């Protein structure tokens, strides 16, 4: 397979036609397809750009293609439509060699179709190159949100939601930034290493490493692939974790000697952070309902030299017989804030995901908030910006439980809302969108 064929295979995996479909993310598909190929490093990077770009910009690509394919009596075969999207992505968003790109995509259309479909691909791409259509213009759409949705290739409901959250002035910058590569970051284990030592490791290998201005013990690094490959040899001294994902524990601020409860621990990035803050004094209890994730969590904590009580089960149904000083609820959510990191996510999520998941979030908080000591701290975090699962959940918690808003560290002021919670705009600064609230149990 060459780079364009690998990219086509990823598109077919992410947008399958045959049922039952395999639920595979773009990254999982790309890793699998590249592993089976013999592509050079340069061609791997090209295949990644083509696949991710064509997935992210799908709505915009279909808008470009509509004048050339919309009048057909029969819809194009799905694979041929994906080949056309690859071609238009190259022509509209990269510095493609027009002749070579067209020839290769026509050959792909012969391989996955027949001479007739190859002729359609040839005709459409040559017409597109002849016309050289410009980008979407405001006057071509019924309203501003439709225009921005096509220009930046997001569902219109996402544009409306982000406009409501962040305002007219920032909406276009957020949409634009969410299509750029996310900032890679790592968090360190202070029991094993230092920021300076890990930063030097990256710099020695030719990339940048800068301390986060928000999350303590986090480094922003310039090479995501180097971070992922280096994590395997770091043996728990550091791990890949986005800057926004590191903020909830930073805001929770566990102290040596305390009892910490980490709920929905997943693979354990935040549990590792909390254990590092305890410095071997105190206790960490983790709850994770997925058996495989729970096993991974246990292994990673052991590798990092930490001990914790790991409970596998549904946190809303467990009968905990003790109380805790600090509680982290990293709740299941719609993931609207991390759409930029997962290119297919914008096409799989639905506008009512937040409302549905808010019920789970309230159940978790309802079951676990009473487990706090009087004066204990609770941090509620979601990688979402949907008010249904952010501000509305916190307001419900304030009205139904004996808690009040707690203090957020001063360096988070640029990210704070008028209510005092932290709301990280997706995309800006390469960050994931996150919502974090800190509350304290009243005596």
The pLDDT assigned to 339 comes to 92
Percent of the chain with pLDDT over 90: 88
How sure is the predictor about 217, in pLDDT bands with cuts at 50, 70 and 90?
Answer: very high
H or E element that contains 51:
helix 41-56
How many H-runs (helices) and E-runs (strands) does the chain carry? 18, 12
> Closest Cα partner for 108 from 2, 16, 19?
2
The pLDDT assigned to 164 comes to 95
What's the average model confidence in pLDDT over 162-172?
Answer: 96
The pLDDT assigned to 21 comes to 62
What tokens does 183 get?
């900032």
> Closest Cα partner for 157 from 423, 388, 331, 323?
388
Please, what is the average pLDDT of the chain? 94
The pLDDT assigned to 19 comes to 66
**Helix axis angle, 78-93 to 98-112, nearest 10°:** 170
Measured in degrees and rounded to the nearest 5, phi and psi for residue 141 equal -130, 155
Q: How many CA atoms lie within 13 A of 107 on its CB side?
A: 10
One-letter-per-residue 3-state SS of 110-130? HHHCCHHHHHHHHHHHHHHHH
Q: Is the pLDDT of residue 202 over 90?
A: yes
What's the average model confidence in pLDDT over 225-253?
Answer: 94
Q: Is the pLDDT of residue 4 over 60?
A: yes
The pLDDT assigned to 73 comes to 72
How sure is the predictor about 232, in pLDDT bands with cuts at 50, 70 and 90?
Answer: confident
Q: Would you call 361 helix, strand, or coil by DSSP?
A: helix
* CB atoms closer than 10 angstroms to residue 196: 12
How sure is the predictor about 17, in pLDDT bands with cuts at 50, 70 and 90?
Answer: confident
Give 81-138 pLDDT, tens digit per residue.
999 999 999 999 998 899 999 999 999 999 998 888 899 999 999 999 999 999 999 9
The pLDDT assigned to 155 comes to 97
What's the average model confidence in pLDDT over 334-349?
Answer: 93
Higher pLDDT, 304 or 22: 304
How sure is the predictor about 443, in pLDDT bands with cuts at 50, 70 and 90?
Answer: confident
Q: Is the pLDDT of residue 20 over 70?
A: no
- Distance (Å, whole) CA 100 – CA 45: 18
Q: Is the pLDDT of residue 22 over 80?
A: no
Give 25-76 pLDDT, tens digit per residue.
899 999 999 988 889 989 999 999 999 999 999 999 999 999 998 777 778 8
Q: What is the CA radius of gyration of the chain?
A: 24
Q: Which range, 18-22, 205-209, 224-228, has the best average confidence (pLDDT)?
A: 205-209
- Distance (Å, whole) CA 26 – CA 344: 6
> Closest Cα partner for 438 from 389, 378, 392?
378
Higher pLDDT, 321 or 390: 390
Contacts of residue 321, Cβ cutoff 8 Å, sequence gap at least 6 = none
Using a 10 angstrom Cβ sphere, with 0-12 exposed, 13-18 middle and 19 or more buried, the burial of residue 437 is buried
């Amino acid at each position: 397979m060459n780079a364009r064929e690998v990219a086509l295979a990823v598109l077919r995996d992410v947008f399958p036609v045959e049922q039952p479909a395999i639920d595979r993310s773009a990254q999982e598909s790309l890793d699998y397809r590249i592993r089976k190929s013999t592509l050079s490093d340069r061609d791997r990077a090209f295949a990644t750009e083509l696949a991710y770009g064509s997935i992210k910009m799908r709505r915009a690509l279909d808008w470009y293609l509509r004048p050339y394919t919309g009048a057909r009596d029969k819809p194009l075969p799905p694979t041929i439509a994906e080949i056309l999207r690859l071609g238009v992505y190259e022509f509209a968003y990269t510095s493609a060699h027009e002749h070579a790109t067209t020839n290769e995509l026509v050959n792909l259309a012969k391989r996955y179709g027949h001479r007739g479909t190859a002729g359609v691909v040839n005709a459409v791409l040559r017409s597109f190159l002849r016309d050289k259509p410009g980008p979407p213009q405001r006057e071509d759409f019924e309203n501003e949100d439709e225009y921005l949705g096509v220009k930046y290739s997001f569902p219109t409901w996402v544009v409306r939601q982000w406009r409501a959250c962040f305002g007219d002035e920032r909406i276009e910058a957020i949409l634009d930034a969410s299509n750029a590569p996310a900032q890679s970051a790592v968090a360190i284990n202070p029991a094993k290493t230092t920021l300076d030592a890990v930063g030097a490791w990256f710099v020695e290998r030719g990339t940048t490493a800068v301390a986060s201005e928000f999350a303590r013990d986090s480094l922003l690094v310039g090479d995501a692939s180097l971070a992922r490959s280096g994590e395997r040899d770091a043996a728990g001294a550091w791990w890949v974790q986005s800057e926004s994902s590191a903020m909830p524990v930073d805001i929770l601020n566990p102290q040596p000697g305390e009892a910490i409860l980490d709920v929905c621990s997943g693979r354990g990035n935040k549990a590792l952070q909390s254990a590092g803050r305890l410095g071997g004094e105190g206790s960490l209890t983790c709850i994770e309902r997925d058996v495989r994730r729970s096993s991974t969590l246990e292994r990673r904590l052991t590798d990092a030299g930490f001990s914790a009580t790991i409970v596998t089960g549904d946190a809303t149904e467990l009968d905990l017989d003790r109380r805790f000083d600090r509680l982290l609820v990293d709740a299941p959510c719609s993931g609207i804030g991390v759409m930029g990191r997962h290119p297919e996510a914008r096409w799989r999520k639905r506008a009512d995901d937040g409302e549905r998941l808010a019920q789970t979030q309230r159940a978790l908080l309802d079951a676990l908030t009473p487990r706090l000591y009087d004066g204990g701290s609770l941090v509620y975090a979601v990688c979402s910006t949907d008010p249904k699962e952010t501000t509305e959940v916190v307001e419900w918690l304030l009205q139904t439980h004996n808690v009040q808003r707690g203090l957020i560290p001063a360096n988070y002021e640029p990210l704070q809302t008028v209510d005092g919670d932290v709301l990280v705009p997706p995309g800006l600064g390469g960050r994931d969108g996150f919502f974090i609230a800190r509350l304290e149990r009243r005596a």
